[in-house]
């Protein structure tokens, strides 16, 4: 009994003095291995694969906004040479057709953007073109959203609202099989 009493007296606490050191060690490990980079990018939904060639001939010419990027990274928009920085505004005008011109899309739901590139096209150029086209739609969605709901468009909006806007201005981008020019060996 006397013995146990003596044992009781001895404090049985674990020395927590080294806790900070242990935590520091772990902290330094995570500091070193951390890469705080959120992966960002342009989100795309590819069309499902089908063996038949899609028939673009059926579409009315006025509803198709064709963009060609060749192996020299030049742009051909609706049959004429164009520059990258005018692409967005032209696409916007084409989709909305504010002046009801007969050569632009009948209405936004019928507008189709057709993108075609060579195998030798630079990826950077391709992505810039894609970015401009997406920017055109994003701006149109934003304008529409302000008109309909009075708030700027963002991905945080309720799904129903986003769907309503995208139903009015659907993003239709068809990519044709690239032609075999300028592929490097």
Judged by CB under 8 A, the residue of 101, 109, 127, 154 near another protein is 127
* Contacts of another protein in 33-62 (CB under 8 A): 33-49
Identify which range of 14-22, 95-103, 156-164, 165-173 contacts another protein by CB under 8 A: 14-22
Identify which range of 6-14, 57-65, 144-152, 176-184 contacts another protein by CB under 8 A: 176-184
In DSSP terms, which residues pair with 67 in a beta bridge?
77, 115
Residue 138 as a binder of another protein (CB under 8 A): the answer is yes
Judged by CB under 8 A, the residue of 63, 66, 74, 122 near another protein is 122
Question: How many residues in the chain?
Answer: 185
Judged by CB under 8 A, the residue of 5, 155, 156, 159 near another protein is 155
Would you say the C-alpha torsion 50, 55, 61, 63 has a positive or negative sign? negative
Judged by CB under 8 A, the residue of 59, 131, 157, 168 near another protein is 131
Number of chain residues interacting with another protein (CB under 8 A): 50
Which residue number, 93 or 139, has a Cβ lying nearer to another protein?
Answer: 139
Contact criterion met (CB below 8 Å) for 1 and 7: no
Report the alpha-carbon distance of residue 144 to residue 153 in Å, rounded.
8
Burial group, residue 173, by CB count within 10 angstroms (0-12, 13-18, 19+): middle
Report the alpha-carbon distance of residue 9 to residue 26 in Å, rounded.
35
Report the alpha-carbon distance of residue 51 to residue 68 in Å, rounded.
23
Residue 9 as a binder of another protein (CB under 8 A): the answer is no
Report the alpha-carbon distance of residue 131 to residue 135 in Å, rounded.
6
Contact criterion met (CB below 8 Å) for 159 and 150: no
- Binding letters toward another protein, positions 65-104, x by CB under 8 A: ------x---------------------------------
Residue 108 as a binder of another protein (CB under 8 A): the answer is no
Q: Which of 118, 75, 76, 94 is nearest to 172 (CA)?
A: 94
Q: Which residues bind another protein (CB under 8 A)?
A: 16, 19-20, 23-24, 26-27, 30-31, 33-49, 71, 117-124, 126-128, 130-131, 134-135, 138, 155, 177-178, 182-185
């Amino acid at each position: 009994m006397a013995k146990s009493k003596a044992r009781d007296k001895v404090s049985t606490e674990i020395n927590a003095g080294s806790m900070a050191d242990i935590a520091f060690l772990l902290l330094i490990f995570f500091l070193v291995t951390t890469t705080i980079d959120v992966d960002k990018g342009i989100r795309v939904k590819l069309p499902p694969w089908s063996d038949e060639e899609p028939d673009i001939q059926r579409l009315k010419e006025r509803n198709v906004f064709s963009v060609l990027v060749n192996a020299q990274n030049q742009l051909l928009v609706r049959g004429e040479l164009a520059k990258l920085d005018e692409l967005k505004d032209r696409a916007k005008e084409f989709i909305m057709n504010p002046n009801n011109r007969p050569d632009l899309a009948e209405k936004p739901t019928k507008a189709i953007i057709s993108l075609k590139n060579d195998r030798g096209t630079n990826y950077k150029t391709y992505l810039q073109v894609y970015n401009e086209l997406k920017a055109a739609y994003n701006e149109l969605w934003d304008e529409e959203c302000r008109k309909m709901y009075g708030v700027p468009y963002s991905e945080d909006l309720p799904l129903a609202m986003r769907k309503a806007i995208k139903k009015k201005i659907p993003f239709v981008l068809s990519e044709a099989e690239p032609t075999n020019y300028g592929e490097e060996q």
